Amino acid sequence: MPNKKVSSTISQDFLVVKLLMATFVIGVFFNLYLFAVHPPWMEQIHSFFESDRPEHRKSKWQTKDEVFRFFLAISIANACMSALLWSLGYKVCKFMVKRPLKKAGFGSAALARAGSWVFLIPFSGPAAIFGLFMCLGAVTSARAQEHPWVLLNLLSPIATIAVLIFLFPRTKDVEKAFDIISPPEEDQ
């Protein structure tokens, strides 16, 4: 019998995750909007951030070669971080969810997905946030127009959104999976 306190906590956690997914979706569409439309108010933001830079620092970052190398290095760092975090997330899910379920005699894929879903968020979230902010910096500085491949950094939040949506479990599956993985302690 599921504990009411646990059910309430799981429902609250689902709400937080839904808000996180909505933030990722809004962030991806906002980046794409700024890239495609390039609204006039972006020029004001760009000039605001550029106005307080000393002239000797501006000239260093104005060369196309330096800008290209900077965006390439940040993009490679984002790709490596995403690959590392996703593989760590897979290993943690395999170790902390699939093994205990198999030992308990439950080989259900739905239960494994429900238990793993909770562990995917802390592993895929940081890479998604880094990709969103990297693209936002490139788009608002008008450098993404020169280097549109920078938008490939949005693949990390898009993958996070897709995995979290396609693997979104039912509350009762999560409760059952966690009852098996870490059984609740009985009150005495």
Residues 11-50: tens digit of each pLDDT = 666 777 788 889 999 999 999 999 998 888 887 777 766 6
Asked if 116 and 100 count as a contact pair (C-beta separation under 8 A), the reply is no
Q: What is the pLDDT of residue 26?
A: 95
pLDDT band of 58, cuts 50, 70, 90? low
Task: Dump pLDDT digits (tens) for 130-174.
Answer: 999 999 988 887 788 888 999 999 999 999 888 888 777 666 666
Structure tokens at 122: 């802390």
Q: What is the pTM of this model?
A: 0.73
Q: What is the pLDDT of residue 132?
A: 94
Asked if 106 and 98 count as a contact pair (C-beta separation under 8 A), the reply is no
Contacts 24+ apart (CB under 8 A), 103-111: 104/180, 106/180, 110/169, 110/173, 111/173, 111/176, 111/177, 111/180
